[in-house]
Structures are given as structure tokens and as C-alpha cells.
Structure 1
């Protein structure tokens, strides 16, 4: 049972791997120092365990968001910050939700944190990489049937909205790191980056802020509503009553999540249904925030916000029960959280548009929010549209090829 920190030197971590959410001012001059990992089978409270680890390494996670934000130190060997990743399974534990299906990446921890110090960084050579055929964990018909089943649950009044997510995987040979960096560099990837551990890696091109605590405010930016990034798609998204209703429902859930936090003031919606672009898609985003008025602990933030409402549904616990019933494969590294903890701030993205490599296969997930008037065929097409840029990026560098 492993709960504590350990030296990164126990396994190879390429120095040029850029963790999600890292500060731009430190890019290229930070290196991994120690790490923490927790698997669901370990037991204990993952929120408390990772917070203890980070606090022991000098990060202010027991009282974050104060207005006297420190400037990141720059001296060699000084702590730059920490990357933090939380899986969907860990999010269920933290929120007290029903467990979902077994993860398809059991070798990847459910919580992982890496402390970085300032130091020289090197370059990553592309290397050879061969990708096999993608194999989805359910057929389009099975995906559509799950959407229909979710609609029936909504019709019974069990939930108001539920997010249905599918999984796909493909075998690979060689080193996937350069390909994963291409995923992280997709346009609109606010949290673009790569995180590695012993025998595994994940890359995210996530545009969505799960929670940011900075400058005296706690902020979440839920995304819900998707159309192709064309002029017609822009008009359709703005005019869709169904997409707007679905989006507002998640904004209300986000408001409730923030209101549960101790040490915060009144919650406000600062921006509603703003249309922004991610790669080849338009997506609707809102900004919800509250002032930090007292002591705010990382453990409280994780328990209230992970997993995010835009990938669960409403009410959150009822939606997670439906997800456990409907999805045949666990969400693994997706639909949870990854990002950065600085000297006096927190910035975690939602792990949508995320790929995991487990040593043998690449894994990816995509789905969408289901409401009463959702069309199953359209929902299957939307999930495919979200996966398309990820699949293309994995082969868009020299040395990448598809096996015969």
C-alpha cells in the first residue's frame, strides 16, 4: 500500500515533458523532484492524503486563494509548484458516489501528484511510434441505446441530466510521448500538457476549467453545448434552446458546488453561454465564481468540485449512479481533474479531451450530456466529433504511422 512521496529518479521521466497547467513563466526550466500516488485499493481518504503530501512539500493547500499571492521563486532547486491529477474513481470516492465500472487503465494511479523544482530542462526526440486500429468498448448502437436508457431515467424523474461517455483504445509500439505532446498542443487546450509515471503517461487538450483559486476568488468555467466550428454551427449553437437549457442546468449545479465550499462568499455567474472554439468545434462556456472570504482547504475543493457537473449531470450523485449503471467501461483518467498548484493558487482543468498510455494501448474517452430531448444518433455523432482531433493529432508528427 503506497500513500507517500518518493523520488522521481526511481523511474525515467523525460525532462521535456510539460505538465498540464504549468506556469508559462517556468516553462522549460523546471524538473520533477518527488511524487505521490494513490490507488483506490489503497483505502484511506485520498483528498486528505494528497493534501498532506503537498503541504509537507511547502505548498499552501490548507489555506489557498489568499489575496497576498506569492511570486514563484526562481532560484535553482526552489519549488516551482506541483502537478496534480485525480481520476474519475477517486472523484467518486471523494464525493461519496456509487463506484463506476472497472477502469481500463488499472496500472495508472487514481491520484498522482508531482512536485517540481527549478532546474534545467532538455529536449524530447520524437522517436518511432506505430499505432494500431482503434477498438471502441461499445458499438454505435450500444452507445445510442445507453442514451435512450438515460432519457428513460430522466422521464422517470430519477435525474434531470446525465452525461454518457464511451471509451476506445488502440495498441501501439514505440514511444508515444511525442504523439501525446501533439495532443496537448491542440488549439484551445487551456490545460494542454503531459504527465508521466512509471510505465504510463496521460496527455490532455482540455479547454475546461474545473476549479481555479487565485487572487481571492474561486472560479469554475463549465462547458456544455457543442457544434462544428463553422459559421452555421455557431448560429445553431446560439439558437439551440435544447443546448442552452442543458447548459444552464449545469451552471446551476456549478453554483451549488461552489456554495458548498467553506470560506467563500456569494456565488455569481459572471458570464453565461459564451461560445468559444476548441480545435474544430464551437463550445458554450460560462464563468461562475465566488470571493474567498476565509480559510479554504484543498480537501474541501476536491470533495465539492470533483467530478465536475458538466461530465456527470444533475443531481450529481443521482447522475453518477446512472453513469455506473450505463457505462460498461470505467472512465479511468478522464472526466476528473488535472492541473497545477502554485505557491498560493490552484488551477485544475477537467480531464476531457484526454488520452492515456498504459504501456501497451492508448485509451481515449468522449461523450455528452443527455437531456429529455436528446437524439441518440446525434449524441453518438457528437462523441465521434470530439474524438476526431485527438486521433488525428496522435499521427500528425514525423515518425507516426498506422499499422497495417
Structure 2
């Protein structure tokens, strides 16, 4: 095979060509087990900032128009399966989330993707046969980083100075890398989605783009009126020493609790009064070759809470922005060299009575030209710049390895 750009890319049709839709990958993250292999696409809406309008309202209106009314999450509408609407996959980029809350958008994304994709599926007992796999193999070229380790470390120092001035308490910094490819990228993205610990493992495709996700982190789940978020902050190698070091780290615990407080406040704005609680604090769990600290925060949805209100409250996720959120977004926009693309957004499944969106960490995206990955970490006053560089590299290593 010639190693370079290929004229054969993902053969994905225009979303309005209904006859071609079964040829697209149907395996979005958080799809119910009983629905896997039984989904057929009914409708799709994609949005970019240039399209204008309010993206949160656009998502809600589109789903309502296609049989998924989500105007009162405290009193969900019962749904039906089999030959009717089963549910929908929802992808919301970090940029879309930033715009929802009036934040400062960062530089343009290096990946040519929509910022919102909503795909409505029906449930069928006789799914179409799988599309033929392209005969061309998969080749991925070398990675090109969006910044050098020194530039990354310098950005960490700038955040530490901002914290010392009192501008922010914490800022999450994210870097990016891209690699050229040839052939069919979908099997590689599927491998990514099967990584151990991927609570939100799966692939979502569109015309000339695809997102593969192996995220362990819950951005927001709503089940029968209960809101749940599970922020992850704090990372160490998955060794006995790494486990002990993470539990003993005052810096990691302080960073984690700061984000727990931020996300408690996010939920409090949309929850029944007095219902916010932390059910699990700083629990150490494993993802691939890493230990990570996770907490679980729950609340009851306030009466009349709509999907649009929910998205405006939780997007973009606090664990990948910082505190205060709007101030952190200003520093992110100024310091990160490229946009966050498919990363640090939300991706998952919506059905009557249940919303389950993962935070798109440990995520890759493919457009016509390249495969893209992102990784980063939260910066506090105690952060060591080159330790933060190393942590980001550790997070992206399993993702890149899956895309071999």
C-alpha cells in the first residue's frame, strides 16, 4: 500500500440519503444492550456555530419533533420500542457547550467535524445486513503534536500565575495530536471503544467523520428524574505504588474536591432544593494502565427541567474546564493552540426516561485527512509543569496504541 493520503476515505453518505444510512456504523456509546444490533437510523441533525441559533434549544426541538419529548426530566414520558423510535445518540462538542453558557470559544478545531450531532434511531427485530468491509487496510502515519513539551509546560506556568493573581482556582489544559491515515479507520476506532474501563465505549459516524470513544467518565446521567455526574480528577500509573501515591496526594485530592464542589453547584442550579448529595468521594478506579479518582454526585431534577436547561448547566464539563468555569474558559481559549474538537464534550444515548452522556475524554476523531487525539489535565497552584506534560502523555498512550 502507498503510505500517504488516499482517495478512498470513509464511504459515508449525506445524512438525508435514507437508503444509505444502514451502511453507517451503528454503535454509539451508552446504547442499551437490548438495542445493540437492532438500530436503524431515522433522522439526523448536525450543527456548527456558523449555522447560528441556540444549540441547546435546537437539540431539544429536533428530538421533540422526532418523538422524544424532553421538556420535563423530573416527569419523563414513557417510551416504546420495536419499529418505533428507540432513542437517539447525542454528541455535543466542548465548543458547543462553551457557547451554550456564553463562554469564550477557543481557536478553531483541527478536525473537520460538526459541533453537534443528534441521530434518532428506530428499533427493529430485522436489522439490515452489515455493510461490506472495504478491502483496503488501515495505515496511520506519525503523530504531529499541536505543541511541544516546553510549550505545554509554559502554558501550565501561565495558569499557575493566573491562580496566584486570583483570576482562577483551577484550569484544565488540553493538547492535541494528528496523524495522516489511509484506508478504513472504523475498525481502529472500534478497538478504541473496547478498551478496558470504557464506560462510554463506542463509535458515532457521520458524513466523512467519525468519533471513537473509550471514556470512563459520566458527564450527566438522568434516570427517572435522578441526576448523576461522576467527575474524574487525579491520575497515577496502575501499580501498587501508584494507587498508594494517588490516595496520599494532597494536591490531587484538593484538585478533585474543587471540581466536585463545582459540579455540585452545577447540579444545584437545576435540582430540587436540598437534593444534591455526594454518594462516593475520591474513589480510586482503574482505566487501562491508570488509576483515576472518581466521585459520584446525585440530585433530583427540579420540576420542569428540560433537556436544554440540563445541557446549559453541565456543558462543558467542570472536570475539563476548571473553576470558576467561565473564567477558566477564558484562559483555555487564550492558551490552547488548537480547538478541542471531539474531545472534552459529551457523547451518549437519550431515550424516554433515560439520558446517559459520557465526557469525551480518551476520545479520537477522524475526518477526511487525519485521525485526531486530545489529552490534558487540571492545573492548580501546586502543579509541576513537566509532571503535567507526563500525565497528559500517559492518558493518551492507550488511545494512540489502539489506533495502531
Name the TM-score class by shorter chain: over 0.9
Deviation at 1:73, TM superposition (A): 3.2
2:166 is the counterpart of 1:161 = no
Of 77, 80, 91, 1:73 maps to: 80
Deviation at 1:358, TM superposition (A): 0.5
Deviation at 1:169, TM superposition (A): 0.2
Q: Say whether the 8 Å CA contact 2:88–2:121 is kept in structure 1.
A: yes
Q: Say whether the 8 Å CA contact 1:135–1:170 is kept in structure 2.
A: yes
Of 269, 276, 286, 1:277 maps to: 286
Paired residue secondary structure (2:253): helix
Q: Measure the CA separation in 2 of the matches of 1:121 and 1:288.
A: 40
- Worse-superposed segment, 227-236 or 5-14: 5-14
Q: Measure the CA separation in 1 of the matches of 2:256 and 2:72.
A: 31
Of 353, 356, 363, 1:354 maps to: 363
Q: Measure the CA separation in 1 of the matches of 2:26 and 2:45.
A: 18
1:21 counterpart residue number: 30
Q: Measure the CA separation in 1 of the matches of 2:45 and 2:360.
A: 19
2:140 is the counterpart of 1:131 = yes
Q: Considering only aligned residues, what root-mean-square deviation do their CA atoms show, in Å?
A: 1.7
Q: Unaligned regions of 5+ residues in structure 2, if any?
A: 1-13
1:51-105 CA deviation, whole Å, 9 max, x = no partner? 1000111113111243x774x6332x21110000011111111011011111112
Of 196, 216, 223, 1:214 maps to: 223
2:121 is the counterpart of 1:112 = no
Paired residue secondary structure (1:296): coil
Q: Measure the CA separation in 2 of the matches of 1:293 and 1:159.
A: 30
Q: Say whether the 8 Å CA contact 1:15–1:122 is kept in structure 2.
A: no
1:320 counterpart residue number: 329
Q: Structure 1 residues 243, 386: closer, same or farther in 2, change over 3 A?
A: same
1:125-182 CA deviation, whole Å, 9 max, x = no partner? 4751100000001011111111111111111111000000000000000110010000
2:101 counterpart residue number: 95
Deviation at 1:24, TM superposition (A): 1.1
2:151 is the counterpart of 1:142 = yes
Q: Measure the CA separation in 1 of the matches of 2:121 and 2:104.
A: 34
1:236 counterpart residue number: 245
Deviation at 1:17, TM superposition (A): 3.2
Of 89, 106, 119, 1:83 maps to: 89
Q: Say whether the 8 Å CA contact 1:8–1:32 is kept in structure 2.
A: no
Q: Measure the CA separation in 2 of the matches of 1:61 and 1:390.
A: 34
Paired residue secondary structure (2:215): coil
Q: Say whether the 8 Å CA contact 2:26–2:39 is kept in structure 1.
A: no
Q: Say whether the 8 Å CA contact 1:226–1:283 is kept in structure 2.
A: yes
1:308 counterpart residue number: 317
The count of corresponding residues between Structure 1 and Structure 2 is 387
